[in-house]
Amino acid sequence: MSPTTKKSLNPVPIKDRIKVPRQLMPEQPAEVRAHNFEEVNLGYSAELAQLEAQRCLECAKPTCTDNCPVGVQVKAFVELIVAGDFMGAAAKIREDNVLPAITGRVCPQEDQCEGKCLLSKKAKALGIGYLERFVADYEQRMGTHVVPKVTPTGKKVAVVGSGPSGLTVAGDLIQKGHKVRVFEALHEIGGVLVYGIPEFRLPKQIVREQIDYMRAMGVEFETDVVVGRTVTIDELMHEEGFDAVYIGTGAGLPQFMNIPGEHLNGVYSANEFLTRINLMKAYKFPVYDEPMLDLHGKDVAVIGGGNTALDAIRSALRLGARKAYVIYRRSDAEMPARAEEVHHARQEGIDFQMLTAPVEFLSDGKGWLTAARCVRMELGEPDASGRRRPVPVQGSEFDLPLSVAIMAIGTTANPIVQTTTPGLGTNKRGYIQASEETQRTTKKGVFAGGDIVTGGATVILAMGAGRRAANSIHQYLTTGEW
């Protein structure tokens, strides 16, 4: 298309586009959705998508793309939406992003593409995430994924972990003609997308559809394999004939605060709490066998201020909690959670106890949690992370009655792969050393990326690492140069 044709397709003159309000995402009413696990956001209609797409300023130098870890060609796909070519828009996104229906839902767009949108200087940013989601869902409804034809290279790549970075590597490499086999420790494919993120934010059907598409492209999946235990990296390379390995195992080991009472019945890690609900479907007990504590009428708190914390406490609310608190030691401004999630959580009635931290969990004397002893905080000088350090306020202790407390204060590296792979360098926190540019590790033929390299981050950053890794794995496989 020539520039003139493109312009003619958008009926709104450039200078007027900033006056068009950002199209609101249709959503389930807060009072309804607080009691179900169905998706909060309902998605744009074609009309809404086109109205929103028409707001794009079509920048000569699109900063949105520069600020996307996988480099989605935003301007190009948005133009295709304006033109009504939704399938074309989907194909355009897929050139850079193998999981658009997922990133369209869970990316922190305000920190990535939308954060750099020129519109956001004077008005609200273009709804890039909403548009991406619309296009991906449209493509899925049409059921006509185009499976690209490729020439086989005869090379085999093992991907360890089927979370967002592993899936990205698999999707990119299969399109370059390599054989790809993904190993997953759990019984379901998707990593944090299936055990961590709840149904109301990312329906599991969406994840399954994206994985089915990968299968259609030829990616092989093997579940129930704990690499490092069931098979080692060296065995994959020397005995099973894999030419390269990508490690995307995530930062799965939950952290605790090491305060008194953390072993009490009723204190969960967010990973366990969410895994019981999302992966094991414990909320459907007794149809499903995995049990969880009955939360009806109970007071529940999550400790932490990230997306995982909000996922956990909003799940607790949906499971009947009477009071649902977020206990966070800093203030609103420092909360790492996605802005939309915080907004949704407030609408649903989650009680945010900011500048507060537990110092001890109290019991009934029989091993069950009854309350969290908390202390109020104030912000002092900035710490190593650049955020102002929370300092306890003297004499501010109070007891918050609770039946369940969920620890969502971050995760660390799971050591299983590192400790069973000779020659694989790690840093002092136990994460795998990998080049930021190529994702190469210290071991020949082995690449790593995502949370197992950076520590806990976001889906899209993990996918960005996967993208870089796929490019450098391809280069390694075609040149043989390390």
Partner 1 sequence: MFKIIHAEFLAPGIKRFVIDAPRIARKQKPGQFVILRIYEEGERIPVTIENSDAERGTINIVVQAAGKTTNLLNTLNTGDQILDVVGPLGKPSEIANYGTVVVVGGGVGTAMAYPTAAALKHAGNRVISIVGARNKELVILESEMRGVSDSLMITTDDGSYADKGFVTDKLRQLIQNGTRIDLVVAVGPIVMMKAVSEMTRKENIHTVVSLNPIMIDGTGMCGGCRVMIDGKSEFACVDGPEFDGHKVDFGVLVQRNSMYRDAEQRSLAEFQRAAKALADSQGVEHACAAVSAGRQGDQG
Contacts with partner 1, residue ranges (CB under 8 A): 185-187, 195, 223-226, 229-231, 252-254, 256, 258, 262-263, 265, 268-269, 271-272, 275-276, 279-281, 285-293, 366-367, 414-416
Report the nearest approach of partner 1 to the CB of residue 443 (Å). Answer: 20
How is residue 361 written in tokens?
A: 């969990």
**Which one, 84 or 260, has the nearer CB to partner 1?**
260
Q: How far is the CB of 254 from partner 1 (least distance, A)?
A: 4
Q: Which residue has the tokens 């190593």?
A: 384
Q: Which residues contact 409 (CB under 8 A, 6 or more apart)?
A: 255, 256, 257, 303, 304
Find the angle CA(86)-CA(92)-CA(94) to the nearest 5 degrees: 105
d(CA 103, CA 80): 19
Minimum distance, C-beta of residue 192 to partner 1, in the bound complex (Å): 10
Rounded to the nearest 5°, which phi and psi values hold at 162? -110, 30
Amino acid at 336: P
**Residue 39 in contact with residue 32, Cβ under 8 Å?**
no
What is the closest distance, in whole angstroms, from the C-beta atom of residue 266 to partner 1 in the complex?
8
Q: Smallest distance from the beta carbon of 415 to partner 1, in angstroms?
A: 8
Q: Nearest approach, Cβ of 409 to partner 1 (angstroms)?
A: 12
Alpha-carbon gap, residue 266 to 316, rounded angstroms: 13
User: Smallest gap, in angstroms, from Cβ of residue 223 to partner 1?
Assistant: 7
Q: Residues near 416 by Cβ (< 8 Å), separated by ≥ 6?
A: 226, 227, 228, 229, 249
Tokens of 227: 């690499």
Output 12 or 292, the one with its CB closest to partner 1.
292
| Selection from 150, 131, 142, 144 nearest residue 76 by Cα | 131
The Cα angle at residue 385 between residues 382 and 389, in degrees rounded to 5:
35
Give me the sign of the Cα torsion angle 311, 198, 457, 74: negative
Buried b (16+ CB within 10 A) or exposed e, 269-302: bbbbbbbbbbbbbbbeeeeeeeebbebeebbbbb
For the bound state, the minimum distance from the C-beta of residue 38 to partner 1, rounded and expressed in Å, comes to 21
Pairwise CA distance, residues 48 & 8, whole Å: 20
Cβ-contact 99, 463 below 8 angstroms: yes
